[in-house]
Amino acid sequence: MSSNAMLQPEPAPIVACTISRDVQNFDLLIDDMESELGESWGDLSFEDAAAFLDQPEASQLEFVAIAIDDHDEERLADIGALIGIANAKEIDVILIAQEVSPIALHQLLRMGAGDFIPYPLPEGELHNAIDRLRKPKIPAQAEPEVPQEMRSTLKATGDRNGVVLPVHGISGGTGATTVAVNLAWELANIDKKNPPRVCLLDLDLQFGSVSTYLDLPRRDAVYELLSDTNSMDNESFMQALLTFNDKLHVLTAPADILPLDIVTAEDIDKLVETARTNFDYIVIDMPTTLVAWTESILHQAHVYFSTLELDMRSAQNALRMIRALKSEELPYEKLRYILNRAPKFTDLTGKGRVKRLAESLDIVIELQIPDGGKPVVQSGDHGLPLMETAAKNPMRKEIHKLAQSIHEVNQAAETGR
């Protein structure tokens, strides 16, 4: 009841409210609300919030900040109901969450929470969230029904021991996703008589564009799997996949942006392990950021492709990445460098620069992919791999050769056993 006292509309009109079990558990939020709004905000308990939001005055609120921690997960339905009331009154909802499971977070976002900030609040994040809600809105996209032809009907085998091939862009825009998507498609088509089982995991969980490049819907299946890896089995994993043109099986990134560290190394281990037992090749599109689970992927990887370009940005990032891996004693020797937008054969000064880049980083550049021009971008926009739209494109040719050599090496290893 004491909390209601703070809601008296004087002296300053109340434009926002925090809603929590006990706001004292979120003292950084109190500080940030004060610096953003001065005196013009109030604080409500969960119990009082519903009654307050039902009053006509509540419509004057610009937003509510619902702060929850893991203890509040049992009242998810009530919190969802509050979000519903707020939405109905066109009051924005910012979710502040401490140690809340990804599945709970995800449900709350689905129930209509417009924005999410982890707690402890990162510097300036409440300010940014308020800025965002003051901007004109783009309607949220509900998860679309998946068309029948995209549903994976492939049965789990559980008897494979797949080759794990991550692709990690040393800097953004260096073609990691394009390489991952096309490499996966080339592998899926490498042997018409005896096609290997290929799966593509989009683990660039925030900005993953595999779904764009293959024109598949983004799905939340990946978070559903990752938030409860204990109950993940071959069947639930297979059901989470979508199929591209009958041959390639894809785990697309979710529609909402959630923090990358919400997923643990153990979750990723289990995911990749499950993929390995059901597929011959597992191509993984990695986020550019190094995260807690990069290590799990490095350990599971047979080789770890890194895309870079011939510029200072890539050179410096590569150096930083190698140093970071070495200092953590991670298997940096698995890195295979792919130079994208490489200079043409005839460009002698360009070739000299490639040589100097490799020398200064003390790396071997295993593959050079030339600029494939507009057709590459168009093929991505059309949601098709290069093989389908521009089979003679120089970029496609290099990725095709890479797929061939991977398959040959793998087959030799299998028959050699």
What is the binding site for ligand ADP (CB under 6 A)? 169, 172-178, 209, 307, 340-341, 369, 371-373, 376-377, 380, 395
377 binds, among ligand ADP, Mg ion, none (CB under 5 to 8 A by kind): ligand ADP
294 binds, among Mg ion, ligand ADP, none (CB under 5 to 8 A by kind): none
* DSSP code string of 372-402: --HHHHHHHHTT--HHHH-TT-HHHHHHHHH
Pairwise CA distance, residues 132 & 40, whole Å: 19
Residues 250-279 as x/- pattern, contact with Mg ion by CB under 5 A: ------------------------------
372 binds, among Mg ion, ligand ADP, none (CB under 5 to 8 A by kind): ligand ADP
Smallest gap from Cβ 332 to ligand ADP, in A, equals 20
Smallest gap from Cβ 241 to ligand ADP, in A, equals 21
Instruction: Please name the residues in contact with 81: beta carbons below 8 A apart, sequence gap of 6 or more.
Output: 50
Q: Which amino acid is at 355?
A: K
Quick one: 20 or 209, whose CB is closer to ligand ADP? 209
Quick one: 72 or 309, whose CB is closer to ligand ADP? 309
Quick one: 104 or 342, whose CB is closer to ligand ADP? 342
218 binds, among Mg ion, ligand ADP, none (CB under 5 to 8 A by kind): none
User: Among all chains, which residue has been given the structure tokens 């510029």?
Assistant: 311
371 binds, among ligand ADP, Mg ion, none (CB under 5 to 8 A by kind): ligand ADP
* CA distance to 50, 80, 395, per residue, from 84 (Å): 10, 6, 49
Q: Which amino acid is at 320?
A: R
368 binds, among ligand ADP, Mg ion, none (CB under 5 to 8 A by kind): none
Q: Which of 3, 107, 152, 177 binds Mg ion (CB under 5 A)?
A: 177
Quick one: 197 or 336, whose CB is closer to Mg ion? 336
Q: Which amino acid is at 267?
A: D
Smallest gap from Cβ 214 to Mg ion, in A, equals 13
174 binds Mg ion, rule: CB under 5 A: no
Quick one: 62 or 371, whose CB is closer to ligand ADP? 371
Pairwise CA distance, residues 30 & 24, whole Å: 8
Quick one: 84 or 173, whose CB is closer to Mg ion? 173
Instruction: Residue 137: name the closest of 167, 93, 190 by CA.
Output: 93
Instruction: Please name the residues in contact with 138: beta carbons below 8 A apart, sequence gap of 6 or more.
Output: none
* 8 A C-beta contact, residue 179 and residue 339: no
Pairwise CA distance, residues 167 & 17, whole Å: 44
- Cα 300 to chain centroid distance, Å, stands at 19
Smallest gap from Cβ 79 to ligand ADP, in A, equals 36
Quick one: 80 or 375, whose CB is closer to ligand ADP? 375
Query: Is the omega angle on the peptide bond into residue 254 within 30 degrees of 0, that is, cis?
Result: no
Smallest gap from Cβ 236 to ligand ADP, in A, equals 28
Helix (H/G/I), strand (E/B), else coil: 285: strand
CB neighbours of residue 324 within 10 Å: 13
Smallest gap from Cβ 285 to Mg ion, in A, equals 6
340 binds, among Mg ion, ligand ADP, none (CB under 5 to 8 A by kind): ligand ADP
Smallest gap from Cβ 265 to ligand ADP, in A, equals 23
171 binds Mg ion, rule: CB under 5 A: no
Pairwise CA distance, residues 364 & 348, whole Å: 19
For 15-150, list the strands marked E by DSSP. 16-20, 41-45, 63-69, 92-98, 115-118
Q: Which stretch binds Mg ion (CB under 5 A): 174-182, 263-271, 304-312, 367-375?
A: 174-182
173 binds, among Mg ion, ligand ADP, none (CB under 5 to 8 A by kind): ligand ADP
Smallest gap from Cβ 381 to Mg ion, in A, equals 14
Smallest gap from Cβ 305 to ligand ADP, in A, equals 11
Phi-psi region of 245 (alpha: psi -120 to 50; beta: other; left: phi over 0): left
* DSSP code string of 166-193: EEEESSTTSSHHHHHHHHHHHHHTS-SS
Smallest gap from Cβ 268 to ligand ADP, in A, equals 19
Instruction: Name the residues that contact Mg ion, by CB under 5 A.
Output: 176-177
